[in-house]
Amino acid sequence: MRLFIAIQLSESMRNAISDVQYLLKRQGVRGNYTPRENLHLTLVFIGEYNDPDRVHDIIEHIPIEPFELSLNGMGAFGDLWWIGLEPSGELQGYVRRLRHVMAEAGIPFDRKRFSPHITMLRRASIDIMKVGIQPVGTAKMVVDHASLMRSERGRSGMIYTEI
């Protein structure tokens, strides 16, 4: 099973990101846009792992004190374009605790530095600097839980399912 831990986005955040995607499409930017239902914030990418119950137990035993997330700008890692978030000490602390407990439990995960972003476009047809940064809006949400997600390849792309 291909697994990751994520924060599911509120409707207002999905709406704001969908609006940016619409503007980019109108400007002729082609690529693989993340479908609205797949928009999320990955906290920990686990990859192939066949014991989701162990991961689920860890998520349940690391409480989240509710905190606010706010969208903030956009950027790119090469041809992957993303929407950014306002800096959040609460988010960083939660991810740090989550990764610490997972490492102690021997659950493998991608140990790259956590850089909070929401992927909205892969394989963009042009460089982001040629389009310019789009207005993202002021969508906010309160985070009070994380979700264990399974990723499967479907006929028209990836399908993400909460476990």
pLDDT digits (tens, 9 = 90+) for 97-143: 999 999 999 999 999 999 999 999 999 998 787 876 667 878 999 99
What pLDDT, in 10s, does the model give residues 78-100?
999 999 999 999 999 999 999 99
Q: How much is the pTM? A: 0.91
Tokens of 124: 């963009």
